[in-house]
Amino acid sequence: QAKRQGGNKWLKYHEGIEQEVSELFALESDLREAIGTEELQLYYQLQVNDKHEYIGAEALTRWIHPERGLVSPGVFIPIAEESGLIIPIGEWVIRTACLQLAAWEKHEETKHISISVNVSARQFYQDNFVDLVLAEVEQAGINPKMLMLELTESLVLEDMELVVEQMYALKKHGIRFSMDDFGTGYSSLSYLSTLPFDEVKIDQAFIRRAASPEHVKDWSIVEAIIGITKKLHMDVIAEGVETTAQQERLLASGCTRYQGYLFSKPSPISKLPLPR
Ligand code: C2E
Ligand code: MG
Ligand code: MG
Ligand code: MG
């Protein structure tokens, strides 16, 4: 009896996995179809300084599925990475961001606003990644300094030597780099001195925890990150800033750049409070 029950459980578990796998396959084939259509959209979340002026925007991909509605990047980006679809999607993101920068360069109010683009490992480690980025920048005719590439610690860890090489190849042309989600993962202070990052983004999980009184130590670490970036002449930006209390505390600690719902939610370009 017990054995049979165990067997049934296993079968149920097995069916559960099968369902999940076929669900993932369905999403993957839908995603493949979505590329190049209106289903994929690039949203932008504005970044501000301590005077609440817009200084940049992070480009965040949205998938509006015809039946499922909005599918979160937390769901479809891993599918895109696994399947290789991140390559065409990533190219589209970089191209779209460059074209948006070209449009912003034409207006006095927006010409100083940079765009940050998330780059996946699979994309970054492609043979032609450097050429591809440079080609899009040139095609759009933009100032390369306005394009910022966001890399994560796990990407950097895979092959530090190659990362340094590719970063310098792009930096030579003015492209800038931001270390995304810093402060949680495998944060190592040595990356910050070895790799030529222009900016460090303090992970939002950190900002969230640090805001609560029982996490005094988290706040000390946030302050230490801010201090180190200053010493290394890098910019520091806090992500996931949701309250004025968080922003004020960050400001008091010397962090003058913020990204979060307090200032701007990721929006389609048409909904941003800026000329297009
Ligand atoms: P990320 O690069 O760390 O992006 C920041 C995430 O935090 C975004 O989630 C953004 O909507 C969210 N966020 C911003 N401010 C706040 C806030 O105040 N509170 C809270 N709770 N959340 C906030 P999103 O758009 O869901 O993207 C999730 C992740 O998916 C991104 O994390 C990034 O790793 C990845 N992603 C999104 N678009 C792309 C893309 O085009 N290419 C690649 N490779 N990855 C992408
Ligand atoms: Mg990011
Ligand atoms: Mg981040
Ligand atoms: Mg994140």
Tens of pLDDT along 248-267?
Answer: 999 999 999 999 999 999 99
Is the pLDDT reported for residue 217 higher than 90? Answer: no
CA distance linking residue 276 with residue 226, whole number of Å: 33
User: What is the reported pLDDT for 32?
Assistant: 97
Is the pLDDT reported for residue 237 higher than 80? Answer: yes
Mean pLDDT, range 137-153, rounded to an integer: 97
Is the pLDDT reported for residue 4 higher than 70? Answer: no
| Token pair belonging to 109 | 């109010």
The dihedral over CA atoms of 211, 117, 274, 208, expressed in degrees to the nearest 10, equals -10
152 lines ligand 1 (CB under 6 A): no
Q: Could you read off the pLDDT of 36-76 as tens digits, one per residue?
A: 999 999 999 999 999 999 999 999 999 999 999 999 999 99
The answer to whether 145 touches 111, Cβ cutoff 8 Å, is no
- Going by C-beta distance under 8 Å and a sequence separation of 6 or more, which residues neighbour residue 42? 59, 60, 61, 62, 93, 96, 97, 100, 269
Sort residue 120 into left (φ over 0), alpha (ψ -120 to 50) or beta. Answer: beta
| Token pair belonging to 124 | 């970054």
CA of 182 to the centre of ligand 4 (A): 9
Mean pLDDT, range 196-223, rounded to an integer: 86
CA of 39 to the centre of ligand 2 (A): 21
User: What is the reported pLDDT for 3?
Assistant: 52
Q: Where is 69: in which H helix or E strand? A: strand 69-71
183 lines ligand 1 (CB under 6 A): no
Mean pLDDT, range 90-109, rounded to an integer: 97
User: What is the reported pLDDT for 175?
Assistant: 98
Q: Identify residues whose C-beta is under 5 A from ligand 2, the ion.
A: 118, 150, 180
Q: Whose CA is nearest to atom 43 of ligand 1?
A: 118
Residue percentage of the chain with pLDDT more than 90: 79
Cα distances from 130 to residues 30, 94, 157, 178, 234, in angstroms, run 29, 12, 19, 16, 23
Residue of 75, 92, 118 best suited for mutating to test ligand 1, as the one with most atoms within 8 Å of CB:
118
Is the pLDDT reported for residue 100 higher than 80? Answer: yes
